[in-house]
């Protein structure tokens, strides 16, 4: 389907593929075992200019179709290692709030450094008691003259420790219902800011996920995202709409990479006198997996193109892409482990890592159950809009036949019982 991509798209994909095949794939198992940040891979990404891909041109970035190109890069990296895919993509997640809502001063200060790979990012939103329900966060930032004092902690901070700049969301006005939360930019090394627990994870083990703690941590008022308090929740939700196609692309790369490994293995493995890829049951599995992967790819690319065109209300498409692609990734990677048989369960083979890495994609940046809520609420709004167009084809009242229903049962269901 390369004909559907521009020369620019293909250039970014090939640049990412070169890093993925030459640097990432040979080192994926090592860093998965060590659970250490792969600085040599980060340097390779930096040298290849990959961090420029989502940054606007006026701030040292590549410009062009920034979100689609980001998805292509993440997909290629994730084909080789899902952990490296998120290690790269989390920098976009952390910097999107600056792109979407930062002041011109904040953009000029930070975006060129992010584009060059000098500044690495992290995104501090979730807490122990507030994951999907981000609005109920408890981390506080109170105004004290020309500074804000942060107290609290964040959970699941991806890239924590490696990152040099943290986009933090904290409560600045507990009494407000709409402007309760603000975004803050906190630099590594700020007094009162520390990294605590480093999580021991099932997958994506090469990128650190940590607890970030803030105790009497002072930042200047210029660190408030956008220069004005109270817009943090809006910035966070807009960021997730823009970042979820990247999570979907990570899932897509994992599914594609797992299928490719399974194709090679099933072509080599022989049972009952023939290659197992030639058994009809296996052929059907491959056909179904390939179809779902391609469907996910086109949904992701369409969503990314919509974001690049600046279309409003992409929440539904973004949620659909994340939901579908990550469910496909989990299904495909699990099936590919099955195709490897007993060998698939062993760490001697790379396939089990794909399944471990895929699982988190269904959970972070909004669990898939939350994505279903986002999607269904969008359809509920459609129902209101469709009422005037389609209501004349649907009777206003529907008479139910409940001959065998007792009067009290009919009352419970709010339908009339049929009388003789």
Residue 111's alpha-carbon distances to 68, 106, 120, 273, 299, in angstroms, are 19, 8, 11, 59, 29
Partner residues linked to 181 by β-bridges: 171
Per DSSP, the three-state class of 197 is strand
- List CB contacts of 372: < 8 A, sequence separation 6 or more: 319, 323
79 burial level (CB within 10 Å; 0-12, 13-18, 19+): buried
CA distance 364 to 244: 10
Report residue 259 as tokens.
């299928």
CA distance 204 to 88: 12
Question: Among 294, 365, 387, 408, which one carries the catalytic annotation?
Answer: 365
Q: Name the phi and psi angles at 413, rounded to 5.
A: -95, 5
DSSP type of residue 234: H
What distance in Å separates the CA atoms of residue 169 and residue 124, rounded to the nearest whole number? 6
- As given in the structure block, the two tokens for residue 170 are 């904290």
**Neighbour tally for 260: CB within 10 Å:** 12
Strands 270-271 and 165-171 turn out to be unpaired
Mapped onto helix, strand or coil, the DSSP state of residue 351 is helix
Q: Are the C-beta atoms of 84 and 50 separated by less than 8 Å?
A: no
β-bridge mates for residue 122, sequence order = 166
Clarify whether 288 is annotated catalytic.
Answer: no
DSSP E strands, 128-192: 140-144, 147-158, 165-171, 181-187
* 356-to-81, 329, 336 alpha-carbon distances in Å: 11, 11, 12
Q: How far apart are CA 196 and CA 199, in angstroms?
A: 10
Catalytic residues: 365
């Amino acid at each position: 389907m390369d004909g559907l991509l521009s020369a620019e798209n293909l250039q970014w994909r090939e640049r990412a593929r070169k890093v993925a095949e030459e640097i990432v794939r040979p080192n994926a198992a090592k860093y998965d075992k060590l659970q250490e940040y792969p600085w040599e891979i980060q340097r390779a990404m930096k040298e290849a200019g990959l961090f420029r891909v989502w940054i606007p041109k006026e701030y040292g970035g590549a410009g062009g179709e920034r979100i689609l190109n980001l998805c292509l890069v993440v997909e290629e990296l994730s084909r080789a290692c899902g952990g490296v895919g998120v290690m790269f993509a989390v920098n976009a997640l952390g910097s999107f709030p600056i792109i979407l809502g930062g002041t011109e001063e904040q953009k000029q200060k930070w975006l060129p450094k992010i584009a060059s790979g000098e500044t690495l990012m992290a995104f501090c939103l979730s807490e122990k008691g507030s994951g999907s329900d981000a609005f109920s966060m408890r981390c506080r930032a109170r105004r004290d003259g020309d500074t804000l004092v942060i107290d609290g902690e964040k959970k699941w901070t991806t890239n924590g420790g490696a990152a040099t700049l943290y986009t933090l969301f904290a409560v600045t006005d507990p009494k407000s219902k709409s402007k309760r939360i603000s975004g803050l930019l906190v630099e590594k090394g700020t007094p009162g800011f520390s990294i605590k627990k480093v999580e021991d994870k099932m997958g994506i083990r090469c990128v650190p996920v940590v607890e970030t703690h803030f105790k009497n941590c002072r930042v200047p008022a210029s660190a408030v995202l956008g220069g004005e308090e109270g817009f943090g929740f809006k910035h966070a939700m807009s960021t997730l709409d823009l970042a979820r196609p990247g999570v979907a692309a990570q899932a897509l790369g994992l599914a594609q990479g797992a299928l490719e490994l399974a194709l090679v293995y099933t072509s080599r493995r022989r049972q009952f006198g023939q290659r197992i890829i030639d058994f009809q049951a296996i052929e059907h599995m491959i056909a179904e997996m390939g179809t779902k992967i391609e469907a996910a790819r086109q949904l992701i690319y369409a969503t990314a193109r919509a974001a690049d065109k600046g279309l409003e209300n992409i929440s539904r498409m973004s949620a659909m892409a994340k939901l579908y692609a990550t469910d496909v990734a989990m299904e495909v990677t699990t099936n590919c482990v099955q195709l490897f048989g007993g060998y698939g369960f062993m760490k001697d083979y790379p396939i089990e890592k794909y399944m471990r890495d895929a699982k988190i994609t269904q959970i972070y940046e909004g669990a898939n159950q939350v994505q279903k809520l986002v999607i269904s609420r969008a359809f509920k709004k459609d129902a209101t809009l469709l009422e005037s167009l389609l209501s004349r084809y649907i009777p206003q009242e529907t008479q139910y036949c409940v001959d065998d229903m007792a009067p009290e049962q009919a009352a419970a269901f709010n339908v009339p019982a049929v009388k003789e």
